[in-house]
Structure 1
Amino acid sequence: MEAVTKNQELNLTWPEEGITRVPYQVFLDQKVYDEEQKNIFRGPTWNYLCLEAELPKTNDYKTGFIGDTPVVVTRSSDGTFNAFVNRCAHRGATVCMDSCGNSRNFTCVYHAWVYDDKGNLKGVPFKNGVNGNGGMPDDFDTKKLSLTKVRVENYHGMLFGTFDENLEPVDQYIGEKMGHYLQRVFNGRPIKILGYQRQKMQNNWKLYFENVKDSYHASLLHLFFTTFGINRLSQKGGIDLDERGMHHVSYTFGNKNENENVYKNEKVRSYSKYTLDDPSLLDGWDEFDDGITLAIQSIFPGVVLQQIHNTLAVRQLLPKSPGECELVWTFIGYEDDSDEQIEMRLKQNNLVGPAGYVSLEDGGIGEMVQKAIVRDGEKTAFIEMGGKDVKSENYRITETSIRGFWKNYRTLMGL
């Protein structure tokens, strides 16, 4: 067993069992949340910003967040992608008010300071005063008052940002193994944006990220998955982790002919005799040539790439407070998809999202946990399904990737 870890600043004690126990305090405490913003989201991590396909033209921009820090992402006139904190260098007001658009510059509504599409200060009204009165002092230097810059890298059409200038390049951060799975989807075919959905969840962000990494729950919580053979633990599949256990992918090889008695004998709620009035919902085609029909991939600390049959989406997880987070879904296809393929993707998108046949439960289960633990921060979660270590497995009835999350979380948080 590990020694008990005590963080004096957070007044938090981590149990001696280590990553197989998680104190509920980390989901409840404001000090913990604030340290996460500093040590994780504004620390040595690459954070998903948006897709290159969302900024197709010069001077396109999109607003978003790194953790709870507001940022603007741009495609600048020189062809580079840039990002900066959406906060005026003058008095701290929000600079860009719209969610997206196209502009060569950004003007703060408060005092009309003007910034270019890289966040550099270009204009200050009445800098020289009015009628010889007022104005900025002689040592005023616009170059020292740029917006706070974010380092940006493009990974096969996914834009990532970091505040850490010394962090390894994003391809090294993701690694070769996880890069393989990302490049299944971002494979060089131009991406087509099909739409967005957003949902607020009244639970800590880490409860949702745990859920994403938890392949064990998928065919127990989700009646739709099990009933219609989309994802069952009795199907062939596994969990892959990068060498640090930081990122993960859970994958399933669809097989409706596997032994259903596994679920019948366990008498679990998720095995039912429901049928579909329109079974074409589960039609489609082999999306990729590797036989994988379902893949859920997470890149630490807050982005998920999903393939569920022919529905493809990026999920961006945004913390808002200790007890609230937001999930932004970006649904995608390919520019060379046929009309029939786009129609099928749109139909299968009903599986996911805030009210999806599958994902609805994921949006609710975290809130159920948050409500139940509210007065028991000293108690702990138990995470030993599949063992106590962190490693890839050729099966999915394991919590190995959750333990991998907490391993890296503890390192970054000094716990």
Structure 2
Amino acid sequence: MHPSSTTRNGLTRVPFHVYQDPALLDHEQRDVFEGPVWNYLCLEADIPNPGDWRTTFVGRMPVVVARTESGTIAAFENRCLHRGSLICFDNAGHARDFTCVYHAWRYGLDGTLKSVAFRKGVNGKGGMPDSFRPEEHVTRKLRIATVSGLVFGTACDRTPDIETYLGPEVLAALRINASRPLTVIGRFTEVLPNNWKLYAENVRDTYHASLLHVFFATFRINRLSQGGGVSVSANGGCHVSTTLAPEQETDTAYDGMRSVDDGLRLADPSLLDAVDEHGDRVRQQIVSVFPSFAMQRTYNVLAIRQFVPRGVDRTDLNWIYLGYADDPPDLRRRRLKQLNLAGPAGFVSMEDGCIGNFVERGAAVAANASSLMEMGGAGTESQDTRATETAIRGFWKLWRSMMGM
């Protein structure tokens, strides 16, 4: 393993080998995803009734999340204790219990082993030894925490409570919807041709948005000259960045820049006909939870992004578009129309689907070189500007502490 460049430049340098080394995947799985972190699992709305379940991932670990008979939420590794097969294959469903298709070992909704087929053998022959005790064989279970309809899980006993882990600013941003039940209005998976950490950087990169995304700056959805800022949690790993509606629309800061195309016009201007439904003037907001969760608000779009590592240079990006169960019809129509802003073909975030691969290709033989991240200083403090890389440095601060690098 290459040494990490941490001493001379602190958090402002990230060696490119950390995106390229296949050996790091196993290290990250053990010490990051299964370490003292809170991983996003699903929505409470995904499993509203006892017996409802959904499959998800903690890093590369397959996981089942289920609503038990008592109404609590349980999560366990999606792996049969017998020969290691997946227990659940589908994305979601409803069941009284789970049975492995391979040899019919049966599990309760909380992952407890209930029975073993032919445990006593057949006609007095074969079967498990008399010493076999089902209760001695336990699936790996996760501790659960919920925040405003979002379900998080941790596989580590050392993980602090989720309120401490998130910090007050991030917690408040996630609780924007606390009084209204969420509902899913769309979901899909986008395959990214890059390491998962490049996307983790991207959602924390608060100053690329109005430069890379021409639509943002042209139609004044997100400009660095507008109000807002970045809050970073004490551990560095979680953040919330906010762009506020300007007091006045006149803005010359981007005149003549490539990121603005004054010739662009919308055939349907109602795409940007938004309402300030939360009364906070937010035009764009990104909230991240280390290691692999982001929530987006853009006008009336509300979306979750869960990124799942599939290899050293492949990431599955799960998009979940949300509304509120009590949305009036006109607001639901706004949300559905504005979904065209985000996603792999979105007017805004289309570019994010390829920019990570541009880094992969550009740094293909630069394993011993490093990226440079000095915008906004060298620390991980919260700032009242988005012309900064403080949240990215915060990600690497927590990643390095967990990886021992």
Same fold (TM over 0.5): yes
- Note if contact 1:45-1:300 (Cα within 8 Å) is conserved in structure 2: yes
Matched with 1:129 is 121
Deviations 1:48-79 (A, max 9, x none): 00110111111100001000100000011111
Tell me how many residue pairs correspond in the alignment: 404
- Note if contact 2:169-2:240 (Cα within 8 Å) is conserved in structure 1: no
Correspondence 1:297-336 to 2 at 5 A: 297-336=287-326
Local SS of the residue matching 2:120? coil
Distance 1:375 1:229, change over 3 A: same
**Aligned partners of 2:19, 2:78: CA distance in 1, in Å?**
27
Local SS of the residue matching 2:135? helix
Matched with 1:6 is none
Matched with 2:192 is 201
Matched with 1:404 is 394
Matched with 1:7 is none
Matched with 2:242 is 251
State yes or no: 1:291 paired with 2:277. Answer: no
Deviates more, 1:283-292 or 1:309-318: 283-292
Correspondence 1:3-402 to 2 at 5 A: 10-15=1-6, 16-184=8-176, 186-255=177-246, 257-265=248-256, 267-402=257-392
- CA displacement at 1:268 relative to structure 2: 2.5
Measured on the aligned residues, the alpha-carbon RMSD in Å equals 1.2
- Note if contact 1:229-1:256 (Cα within 8 Å) is conserved in structure 2: no
Under a length normalisation based on structure 2, what TM-score does the superposition of the two structures give? 0.97
Which amino acid in 2 is paired with 1:108? C
**Aligned partners of 1:167, 1:204: CA distance in 2, in Å?**
25
**Aligned partners of 2:121, 2:234: CA distance in 1, in Å?**
59
- Note if contact 1:234-1:259 (Cα within 8 Å) is conserved in structure 2: no
Which amino acid in 1 is paired with 2:212? L
Which amino acid in 2 is paired with 1:14? S
Deviates more, 1:214-223 or 1:240-249: 240-249
- Note if contact 1:285-1:310 (Cα within 8 Å) is conserved in structure 2: yes
User: Gaps spanning 5+ residues in structure 1: where?
Assistant: 1-9
User: Gaps spanning 5+ residues in structure 2: where?
Assistant: none
**Aligned partners of 1:123, 1:176: CA distance in 2, in Å?**
45
Which amino acid in 1 is paired with 2:88? C
- Note if contact 1:24-1:378 (Cα within 8 Å) is conserved in structure 2: yes
**Aligned partners of 1:82, 1:381: CA distance in 2, in Å?**
41
Which amino acid in 2 is paired with 1:409? W
- CA displacement at 1:348 relative to structure 2: 0.3
Under a length normalisation based on structure 1, what TM-score does the superposition of the two structures give? 0.95
- CA displacement at 1:227 relative to structure 2: 0.7
Deviations 1:299-351 (A, max 9, x none): 11110011100000111111111111111111111111111111110000110
- Note if contact 1:152-1:161 (Cα within 8 Å) is conserved in structure 2: yes
Deviations 1:137-187 (A, max 9, x none): 111010122321111122221111111123222222112221111111x32
**Aligned partners of 1:374, 1:340: CA distance in 2, in Å?**
48
Deviations 1:247-284 (A, max 9, x none): 1111011238444321114x324343200010000002
Which amino acid in 1 is paired with 2:278? F
**Aligned partners of 1:11, 1:204: CA distance in 2, in Å?**
17
Matched with 1:4 is none
**Aligned partners of 1:140, 1:100: CA distance in 2, in Å?**
32
**Aligned partners of 1:195, 1:55: CA distance in 2, in Å?**
16
Which amino acid in 1 is paired with 2:179? G
**Aligned partners of 2:94, 2:387: CA distance in 1, in Å?**
47
**Aligned partners of 1:188, 1:127: CA distance in 2, in Å?**
49
Distance 1:51 1:243, change over 3 A: same
Percent sequence identity is 45
